Every structure is written in C-alpha cells, then in structure tokens.
Chain A
Amino acid sequence: MTAAVFFGCAFIAFGPALALYIFTISTEPLRIIFLIVGAFFWLVSLLFSSLIWFMTTTLTDNKDEPREKYLLIFGVLISVLIQEMFRFAYYKLLKKASEGLKTINPYEEAPSMRLLAYVSGLGFGIMSGIFSFVNTLSDSLGPGTVGIHGDPPQFFLNSAFMTLVITLLHVFWGIVFFDGCAKKKWYTLLVVVLSHLLVSALTFISPHYGLNLVLAYIIMVLTGVWAFFVSGGSCRSLKLCLLCQDKDFLLFNQRAR
C-alpha cells in the first residue's frame, strides 16, 4: 500500500488530536504531565481488560468461531466499563492533586477542574487512538492489496475515521464526566457509559461501514455540543468568538481588532 494511504490515514486519525496537543497542551508543562498520566490510566485499564479477556479465552478453550466472537464482544464491553471506572479513578486523583497543588503553591494558579477534564479526556483519547490504529498504520506501509478476498477495500480509511471519532469522543466524554462528578449528577455518568457502550457496540456491525461511522459521528457531534454547554459555553459566546468580537479573548491574546 502506498505512502499516500499511510500519510493520509495517519493525518486523518491523529491530526486533530495533534493540533489540540500543540495548541493547548504543549505550552504548559503541568498539562503535559496530566496528559501523560491520563494516557497511563487508560493503558492500565486496557491491561486489566486484556487480562480478563485473556483469562476467559484460555479458560474456555474451544475453537468455535461464534464462541470466540462472543468472548470478544464480552471483552469489548468489559473493557468499556473498566475504562470508565478508570476515568472515575483519575477524576478522584486529580481532585486530590488539585487540592495538593493549591496548598503547595498558593501563588501560582493551579489548573481548573474543567481544564483537567479536557486534558484527561485528551490523554485517554490519544492513547486509545494510538493503540487502536498504530499497528494497522504500520502495516499499511508494507506490501499488500486491501480487500483481495472480497472484504471492503476501504479498511484503512474506515479505521482512520473511526479512530478520529473515538479520540474526539473521549475528549467530550472526559469533560462531561468530570462535570457530572463535580456536580454529583450521577445520571451524566450513566449517559457517558451508555454512549461509550453504544459506540463500541456499533462497531460490531463492522462490514457496514457507512452506518457505523455516520452514527458514531452523530453521537460525537451531540456529545460535543453537550460538552460545550457544560463547560460554560453559550450561543452568545460562540457567536462573539466566531465574529471575533469577544473582547476578553482578544485582549487575552493581545490582538488588535
């Protein structure tokens, strides 16, 4: 497969996350650290879910195809639940760390919980995206023909778009989740878990890419809008921002209007 496929899919899957990282995270060292710790938490959650899946497959060691598929589905669902559990654990850790930072360093502003929600969501998203896609991406540099046995030829493109949507969804889920925890609105957590399960479950109908992707993107847009309103945005502030009339933002960036 060509270099065009490699670069194209790489930028589709990781471009927005990279842009978010460069413009919002890379300037502040503390945010980078929280991002990496978030990625670590996702990794640990993946480890636990792989352990559970591995144990179930080795314990029920028969070679039925459907059995394996069901175990895989079970593995996916367990993984989603464990990821959300670790998101909650990370929320608890960040709350403690935030308080610690405030007492240690009263002169310097500690990052707000909303910012940490965004950073943690991005950490989860980046790690999730990388782990899902990087092996496929490196295979795309090698020789081969996609879909030679009748499978859909848009394997890479589909995977890239799916990776992108998962990454962005993690960001939005992070924001909404932390806000729900902070305001003790437990139904928010339930909605996040259910939508994550829904997005993962949609991928089970894998050969029908169109439906799978479109639904996932719709969910992403809805969750994005929800996250926007949860983090304090409003229609008015959006309008001001888009028309470059937001004085606070302009002053902050010292740009003359």
Chain B
Amino acid sequence: MLTFMASDSEEEVCDERTSLMSAESPTPRSCQDGRQGLEDGESAAQWRSQESEEDHEDEDPDRYVCSGVPGRPPGLEEELTLKYGAKHVIMLFVPVTLCMIVVVATIKSVRFYTEKNGQLIYTPFSEDTPSVGRRLLNSVLNTLIMISVIVTMTIFLVVLYKYRCYKFIHGWLIMSSLMLLFLFTYIYLGEVLKTYNVAMDYPTLFLTVWNFGAVGMVCIHWKGPLVLQQAYLIMISALMALVFIKYLPEWSAWVILGAISVYDLVAVLCPKGPLRMLVETAQERNEPIFPALIYSSAMVWTVGMAKLDPSSQGALQLPYDPEMEEDSYDSFGEPSYPDVFEPPLPGYPGEELEEEEERGVKLGLGDFIFYSVLVGKAAATGSGDWNTTLACFVAILIGLCLTLLLLAVFKKALPALPISITFGLIFYFSTDNLVRPFMDTLASHQLYI
C-alpha cells in the first residue's frame, strides 16, 4: 500500500522499512516496530521516528538475560553490558558514515538532486514568496501537515499491530521495498549515468536493476548474508534521504527536522506514545521485530543450539522463534537472545554461550535517513562549503555517541534523533553563518590558526 504523492514526486514514503519492525521478543525495542508500520507511503518521517526508536533498542545482554535465561550469574551481566560499549558505537558509526558519504557524494556530483522540481504532496505550501514571514509561515504549515501524517500513520500501525494484522503489514512492507529497490534505484541510476554521460542500453539496465532489486528483496525480507543486508539497508536509506533532500523545500526541511526530533522524543518516551505502546505490545507477545526496518549490527554465533545451524551462522541471524508463524521475517537483524536461552536447548546447561555471541546495537532506518537528510541539505545549500558538511557530520556522530551512552545507562528504548539532530542543526546554522566567513577570510590570506 504505497500511496504516491503528487505526480511529480516519485517518493515512496512508506516502505516496509518504516512499518516493519516487529519487535523482537523481549527487546525493549518494539518501539521501533511501531514506527515502521507507518510506512504506507506516508512521509518517511513517520518511518524515521519508528526507526529512531528502534535504534535504541540495544541488545542489552542484561535485558535478555533477565528476561530469558534462568540461572545466569548476576555479576556477569553488568560487565558484559559495559564491555561492549565502544565497539557497538563504532559498529553504528560506520554505517551512518557510509550512508552520509553516499548521500553527500551524490549531492555534490549529480545535479538532479539539488534541482527544484516540485514538491511532495505532504508539503503543499510553496516557499517561493518574497516575504520572510510568509515563507516561515508556509514552512511551519508544511511541517504540521507532515508531522500529522506521520502521527496518523504511526497510530494506524499500532492499531494494525495490536489487532494482529500481520499479513497486511507484511504486504505493505513488501510493496514499499519493491518501490524503493526498483523504481528509485532505476531513477538514481539514470541520473548518475546522465551526469557522467555514460550510455547504457535498456537490456543491460533491466538486468542490472532486476538483479539489484531481487537480491535486495531476498536479503531484506528473507535470509541473506548480514553484510549484504546491511549494505542494502544503507543504500535504501540513502535513496530515501536523497528523495527527501530533493523534494523538501529549504526552510520546511529544517523545521521538519526539528519537529521530527521532538516527535521522536515524545513518541518513544511518553507512556502513551504510539511507539512505546508498540514496543510493549511486542514484548508482551514475545515476538521479533520485522528486520526490514532496522539496521542491525550484530552477528549471532550460537554454538550448540539445536535449532540454529552453526555452519551458516557466520553472517546469518536465525533467531529461533517457535511462535512466529511467518518465519520468513525471523532471520534479519535481530539476534534474539532470549530465544537462544529457551529451556529445551541441548547446549544450554553450563555453557557459556553468551560469551560466544556478539551482541549488536540496532538503529532504525529512519534515523539513518534523517541524519543523511541533514548532512545532505548542509552539502546542498552550503554554497559549496565543505566545512559546514563536515561540522554537521561530526555533530551527528557525537550526538549518536551520547545517545548510545544514555542507552547503556538507561537500558531501554531511546530516541536516536533528538540529540544528534539538535547538535546537527546548531552546528549547521552556526558554521554556515559564523565559521564560514572566518575560515574563508583566513584561507584567502593564508593565515593559520
């Protein structure tokens, strides 16, 4: 159920990414799932919110242990929780950096994504007015519409999830990812080829796009090597971010970024927030989150597990969930630790299976998208200035670092957007207006500080 926007926009907002994230069993992450449900073509914002929520679902060995495993030595938990901190931060830095690099490289080289070619149906007010007040008003109205669409979609997803309409959600997600993997990739490839003046005939193009898309669908929705799945998730986040950068008008984009981080904060932390409710529902039902909407950095090595095949473990995540009727969604992104520790496991008694597992952190795709939108907008509008882009990049990484630190401290689902986006916005405006003139003047006189 993708709803397209107005004719000139090829944006597909809903995609399974956003709507999917079925929470993994006892993970506090279920919030993220909620977000994903929203996808339905609605603004990616919704999606993002979901994603951001999801991000914070840290695979907290503590949590898992407490919920799933009987008899785990208590002292070990805390140590493990903190032991993996720095490594997980880096495991998230790398994909976020890669996504931003792809977006910035495209923005700087392919002119298509910086040309104004219409707007999304969710931002109907134009910013072409001469007066500043009117322009500000239009951008605020655009933001309100976008956010309300997102909120509606989130609530719709929560409702669907509560009433167990899994088939609907799955169908929605599949349609979304089809759209993203085929149509948007085709357009992107077309623009890149145009920029570099490379000719490609239709049969080759068809083969390329078909292979790319088909492998992507398999990797994301079914089973595939972890690295490939991660790569596809990064690519679709970048594609989505590029669409947003192209179709959101200037001021609206900044106001939307601010508003979406506030929404994220509210939806994840408030007791009645839709995403939080989604997480809790998923936790009650002990279900895994749909993997297609969350980027997972972990690998599960479960040695001695009856249901898991160690030989294929290297990059696959195969959580064993007897309750999940659709096992096609089981194997992505979520090492479901509790599953590992279920009682009838032969390998369990006395084994330090925990030590063999690598727990990872999950970050929702919406967060990737919004981070990339911020950095991409900085690259697109910064008058060719690289300092602004780099400053926003560092600010976002620091925000992510702080968020993960808070996650390690609080051990529950946290929104990934607020801190990073706040830092990013502060640094964008201050670097663009204050630092840029200073550095330019210094560079032209060849002075060094």
Q: Which residues of A contact B (CB under 8 A)?
A: 28-30, 32-33, 36-37, 39-40, 43, 46-47, 49-51, 53-54, 69, 72-73, 75-76, 79-80, 83, 104-105, 107-108, 127-128, 130-132, 134-136, 138, 155, 158-159, 162-163, 166, 199-200, 203-204, 206
Contact = CB atoms under 8 A, between A and B. Distances in A.
Contacts, number: 114
A130 B439 CA distance: 11
5 contacts: A28-B86, A33-B86, A39-B394, A50-B434, A135-B387
A154 to B, nearest CB: 11
A163 B441 CA distance: 16
B447 A47 contact: no
B447 A134 contact: no
Contacts of A199: 448
B50 to A, nearest CB: 27
A144 B443 CA distance: 17
A131 B439 CA distance: 8
B192 interface: no
B93, B386, B440: most-surrounded residue (chain A CB, <10 A): B386
A76 B442 contact: yes
A24 B441 CA distance: 34
Interface stretch (B99-107, B286-294, B395-403): B395-403
Given A72-B442, A83-B449, A104-B82, A36 B394 contact: yes
A136 B443 contact: yes
B383 to A, nearest CB: 11
Contacts of A28: 86
A108 B385 CA distance: 42
B434 A204 contact: no
B371 to A, nearest CB: 15
Given A36-B93, A72-B442, A132-B448, 18 more contacts: A29-B89, A36-B397, A37-B398, A43-B395, A46-B435, A46-B439, A47-B434, A49-B449, A50-B435, A54-B434, A72-B447, A75-B438, A108-B83, A134-B390, A138-B386, A155-B446, A159-B443, A159-B446
Nearest to A79: B449
Nearest to A46: B435
Contact of B446 (A33, A37, A203): A203
A166 B435 contact: no
Given A200-B449, A203-B447, A33 B90 contact: yes
A41 to B, nearest CB: 10
Q: Which 5 A-B pairs have the closest CB atoms?
A: A29-B86, A29-B90, A50-B438, A50-B434, A30-B86
B320 interface: no
Contact of B391 (A43, A54, A80, A206): A43
B346 interface: no
Contacts of A83: 449
B83 A132 contact: no
A53 B83 contact: no
A200 B86 CA distance: 36
B430 interface: yes
B281 interface: no
A132 B90 CA distance: 27
A39 B394 CA distance: 8
A49 to B, nearest CB: 7
B89 A203 contact: no
Interface in B258-280: none
Nearest to B446: A206
Contacts of A104: 82
Interface string B416-449: 0000000000010011011101111111011111
A80, A104, A107, A127: most-surrounded residue (chain B CB, <10 A): A104
Contacts of B82: 104-105
Contact of B441 (A72, A134, A204): A72
A252 B440 CA distance: 47
B285 interface: no
Contacts of B111: none
Contacts of A76: 442, 447, 449
Contact of B449 (A29, A43, A80): A80
A28 B89 CA distance: 12
Contacts of B391: 43
Contacts of A33: 86, 89-90, 401
B208 to A, nearest CB: 29
Nearest to B391: A43
B79 interface: yes
B394 A53 contact: no
A134 B104 CA distance: 15
